[in-house]
A and B are shown apart, each in its own frame.
Chain A
Amino acid sequence: MMKAFLTTLLACAVSYAAAPILIQNATILTVTKGTYKGSVLIRDGKIAEVGEKVTAPAGATIVDGTGKYVMPGIIDCHSHIASDAINEGSVSVSSMVGIPDTINPDDIDIYRALAGGVTTANILHGSANSIGGKTIVLKMRWGKDAHDMIFQGALPGIKFALGENPKRAGNPTGQRINATLRYPATRMGVEDVIREAFQDAKIYQQEWKDYNAKVARGESAVPPRRDERLEPLVEVLEGKRLVHAHCYRQDEILMLLKVGDEFGFKIRTLQHVLEGYKVAKEIADHGTGASTFSDWWAYKLEAFDAIPYNAAIMTRKGVIVSLNSDDAQLMRHLNDEAAKTMKYGGLTEDEALALITINPAKQLMIDNKVGSIEVGKDADLAIYDEHPLSNYAKVDKVFIDGELYFDRDKDIAGRPAKEADKEKLLEKEKQMEQQRRPNGGTNRRPAE
């Protein structure tokens, strides 16, 4: 059923994007294979050919890239847009809930992110609890429905959170929404919550293993009771679900890496990880990725030792690093954020661009599909009018799967019509108000 649906979907996409697109005479920032002046050919939603000279196939749409820069679509490894709910903070472990159930394809922030060159985003649950909800990777396919925004093939994730945020609900004097205190109130308690949960998950996993073994042996057995809270954690133990852990201080970062070692799972990404530079060696040794801010600091105590050199130090010490937004506004200029790592820590242009393209793709294990301009990858591309690491740059066009999802010229050309629509609606509203008034119109409703 599902397969049939997908095939139909694929067929639709292919027929829609049938005409090849050739972007010509541009500076192509492949990120992984150098930078050159030339062309990119898009066919069937994929990058079909790249090079200094690419002959236009018959019927190809030509995009003139003279003076422009083409880079892979930006990937934001930490975002909360396109979701109707972020935090299920009433319990310390909320792994039974998830962002996949809350996708809102009408969120205007999707379009705004597109206009900032973003094509893929990791939509995370909030950081109110030690083990938060399930997460999902979306493509910014503005105009499509919730299902069609999902990045097919990307592994699902789960959010963890350490430090001040999960502690907050346990603080008797702090700002709390709930009237009652919720465990934990300390970093000690945060570790305990995570260890307890994985202890339970291990037992649950074993119950199923025993059951399945019995069934395989032909013995009669009663299946264990399904536990939707523990199932995602078993998936984590089995490497089928990626852990994205909100963290700040070096102590808690090290703690979580050790808890992972103890229970036999990997932390896929440390999120924020503002003191990651202090334990870069340990993070690198665990093969864990770090997804951080460029230069946010001092907004809370655990961010007071944050430095803008964080990404550069971790990169130099062998960590796969990405820059994320966690914010609908910051999301719109991650290219500017990447430039800061050249200033603070001296990363090269390619290293800086990797932080918002191929590195987050690696962290989300989708680098076989996106994150660089290479033949065979999805045609997710952003075209800028200046070098994207310049503050003078703005996005001209954005393609996802070879489809044009943002075009600045079209956006601007469409504004007068939108403005006129708005005026009409306002006029209509005024008329309706007039009719509602006691002395004007039909006086159908009593005055307020």
Chain B
Amino acid sequence: MKTCILAIAMSLPLLAGADDSFLIRGATVHPVTGPEIKDGSVLVRDGKIIGIGHNLSAPKGVRVIEAKGLHVYPGIIDSGTELGVSEIGAIRESVDTGELGTFNPQLRSEIAINPSSEHIPVTRANGITTVVVMPMGAGGGGRRGGGGGIINGQAALVHLDGWTWEEMEVQKSAAMAMRFPTIQSPFGRFGGGDPSELPPGFTRTTFTDQKKTYESQLRELREFFEEARRYQKAKETKAPGFKPDLKYEAMLPVLEGKVPVVAMGGHERAIRDAVKFADDEKVKLIIGEPRELGKMGPELKAKNIPAVLGPTLALPEHEDDGYDSAYSLPAEFYKAGVKFALGSFSNEFSRNLPYQAGTAVAFGLPKEEALKAITINAAQIWGVGDKLGSLEEGKWADLMVTDGDPLETKTQVKQVFIKGKTVDLENKHHRLYEKYLARP
């Protein structure tokens, strides 16, 4: 299949008007993995970057894009989204993020992505070219959070371009999405105080209840892994009576360390538990959407465990946290030497991911690190660091041309390329803008 695509791609430049070969010149080029190049050029052939530097010349027949005064950056990667699997949050029929059940490793978010989602063109218009689509396991197909799912399915890494989900695919099983069992701190305005103040229909669980649930879920999780290992062994040894099982089959790449587990946690306790769990089970771990780092920095660093941080623009987790605790969390991870990427963990706000990174800079993260968190670090964490995330020879030409710093809101994205192909920046929002601005 892959060779087939490659063969087609290679034959394209021979066709008139082939789109995925071009030279951008005169721009400030930001490779992210190297210093910026003033008056630089990027040469793309058959969807791949084949040259980067000063004064590159266009081979015969390759079109030239003059980009004087503009900037070239790698396309942005959002490390946690519901893009394509959720259209309108409040309408259950349009949301496919959370399946029923506790252990669902066999579920694949990729196959539920709607390539015609209005969110896709809206998002890529701001330079987001690749996203992780994460199953959330809320149960009953509702929104994420508070659900009973523990292993929620396979997160997919996809390009925001393609006629089908298959064409969008970058990494069909980028990680196994897991909600790590935890003891929830009292939630929101119904967390403390007088139980009689709870609105009808709301209940509050006590710490003792929560601890019981947490312990039994942790036990179930360990048992599930143990069963998966027995299955693995039975399969290897061709044990008599062995029967294939979709759930355990889906666990094999995790047990073999080929697919990491992304453990959605939150608090320090969940992070600590997840690290211990990954040690015991010898699986590759990514910490998902942590709300604090606590004292876990040195251990995450020593064990090379990366994290995908959630929105920087978030409220502090606890009432007595510093007002800026979420704003400065990326800087805290950076100072602790823990590798991290950023995720929007939404669909409608995915386009604002660069601004989440910008706020992290205001609160102590070096600017170049903020950019890495939405490009190369993300690519490396999701196992495609050799293909995406920076402007380097041999990588796919996922890039954007801007009129300034992409972490600043007022910057306009002028052009976007995915695998060298020009992406249409038109979208629902811009269409409605033109239509109603012109209303007499």
Contacts and interface: CB of A to CB of B under 8 A. Distances in A.
Are A and B bound to each other? yes
Contact of B409 (A177, A281, A303, A339): A339
A299 B90 contact: yes
A390 to B, nearest CB: 6
Interface in B387-440: 407-412, 428-430, 432-433, 436-437, 439
Contact of A299 (B327, B348, B428): B348
Given A112-B323, A278-B436, A309 B429 contact: yes
Contacts of B347: 298
Given A300-B90, A333-B359, A115 B433 contact: no
B91 interface: yes
A150 B201 CA distance: 34
B46 interface: no
A316 B119 CA distance: 26
B315 A112 contact: yes
B200 A411 contact: no
Contacts of A178: 200
B88 A108 contact: no
A307 interface: yes
A309 B89 CA distance: 21
Contact of A343 (B313, B316, B412): B412
Contact of B439 (A111, A281, A300, A328): A281
Interface stretch (A62-70, A192-200, A283-291, A391-399): A391-399
Contacts of B314: 329
B358 interface: yes
A301 B409 contact: no
A115 B313 contact: no
A329 B314 CA distance: 6
Nearest to A339: B409
Interface in A95-144: 108, 111-112, 115
A336 interface: yes
Contacts of B429: 297, 307-309, 344
B359 A391 contact: yes
A305 interface: yes
B323 A336 contact: no
A329 B437 CA distance: 31
A278 B347 CA distance: 24
B87 interface: yes
Contacts of B88: 298-301, 303-304
Interface string A264-303: 0000000000000110110000000000000111111101
B355 A296 contact: no
A389 interface: yes
A386 B362 contact: yes
Main secondary structure of the interface of B (DSSP, over half): loop
A339 B359 CA distance: 13
B236 interface: no
Interface in B256-278: none
B398 to A, nearest CB: 22
Given A340-B409, A343-B410, A115 B320 contact: no
A121 to B, nearest CB: 16
B355 A336 contact: yes
Contacts of A329: 313-315
B437 A313 contact: yes
B363 interface: yes
B35 interface: no
A232 B408 CA distance: 45
Nearest to B321: A108
Contact of A411 (B320, B322, B411): B322
A111 B348 contact: no
Interface string A390-430: 11111000000000000000011001001000100000000
Given A299-B89, A300-B91, A394 B363 contact: yes
Contact of B362 (A305, A391, A415): A391
Contact of A389 (B316, B359, B410, B432): B410
A378 B156 CA distance: 54
A383 to B, nearest CB: 14
Interface in B355-397: 355, 358-359, 361-363
A239 interface: no
A416 B352 CA distance: 34
A308 B123 CA distance: 12
A301 B322 contact: no
A309 B319 contact: no
Given A177-B200, A298-B88, A342 B323 contact: no
A390 B354 CA distance: 12
Interface in A324-342: 328-329, 332-333, 336, 339-340, 342
A441 to B, nearest CB: 21
A267 to B, nearest CB: 21
A394 B352 contact: no
B199 interface: yes
A376 interface: no
A71 B273 CA distance: 46
B436 A277 contact: yes
Residue among A108, A177, A411, A448 with most chain B CB within 10 A: A108
A345 interface: yes
Interface string A340-371: 10111100000000000000000000000000
A343 B433 contact: no
A336 B359 contact: yes
Contact of B408 (A300, A390, A415): A390
B208 to A, nearest CB: 8
B324 interface: yes
Contacts of B363: 394
A390 B314 CA distance: 18
23 contacts: A111-B323, A112-B315, A112-B323, A177-B201, A295-B348, A298-B88, A298-B89, A299-B89, A299-B348, A300-B88, A301-B88, A301-B91, A304-B88, A304-B118, A307-B432, A313-B436, A336-B409, A344-B429, A390-B358, A391-B362, A391-B407, A391-B408, A392-B358
Given A301-B88, A342-B409, A415-B322, 14 more contacts: A112-B316, A277-B433, A298-B348, A300-B91, A329-B313, A333-B359, A336-B355, A339-B409, A343-B410, A391-B358, A391-B407, A392-B358, A393-B362, A418-B320
